[in-house]
A = this chain, B = another copy of it.
Amino acid sequence: MKLSTKGRYSVTAMLDLAIHDKAGPVTLGDISQCQGISLSYLEQLFSSLRKAGLVKGVRGPGGGYRLAQPASEISIAQIVRAVDEKVDVTNCNGEGDCQGGERCLTHELWTDLSDRLYEFLDGITLAQFVDRPGIPELSMERDKSIGRFMLARKQAEAINRGRV
């Protein structure tokens, strides 16, 4: 288990998607502005997320990304795993024979710990964060005041198009 900025960016971006899921796709440009990360870097991350089946892209105007599954079925562990690909914990090159044929005990213990961590993070879903009391209102307030979020923007656009 590894946990770097890459994982953090991905999780926060996914949270953004989850928060605005009902309002339609979120563009990477929006996330890029919010989180202060470059667009292309986000594209790299979302490429991984898409390949992992966690998000799906919607092309064209009004497009962006949405969750590929309900927020209640996407765990933090899945996200972390998608972008921070496997670390080879054992310097014995995976085959468990570091130091002359014996698997290093502490490596085994670390693997145990790593498993436990994943288990823990597998129990936490995006929905658990988004569905908390207070979050939806907060997010909407934020959207309004900053004026650059999908929810607000899409609504405005929809109104302009006479859809609402």
Binding site for B on A (CB under 8 A): 1-5, 8, 11-13, 15-16, 19, 33-36, 76, 87, 89, 91, 98-100, 102, 104-107, 109-110, 112-113, 116-117, 120-121, 124, 129, 135, 138-139, 142, 145-146
Q: Which residue of B lies closest to A116 (CB)?
A: B124
Q: Which residue of B lies closest to A92 (CB)?
A: B36
Does B138 lie within 8 Å of A34, measured CB to CB? no
Shortest C-beta distance, A37 to chain B (Å), equals 8
Does A105 lie within 8 Å of B2, measured CB to CB? no
Q: Is the interface of A mostly helix, strand, loop or mixed?
A: helix
Residues of chain B lying within 8 A (CB to CB) of residue A112? 129
A35 CA to B117 CA in the complex, in Å?
22
Listed A/B pairs (19) with beta-carbon separation below 8 Å: A1-B3, A4-B4, A8-B110, A11-B113, A12-B106, A15-B110, A19-B106, A33-B99, A34-B99, A34-B106, A35-B91, A36-B91, A36-B99, A102-B145, A105-B138, A117-B117, A117-B120, A117-B121, A120-B120
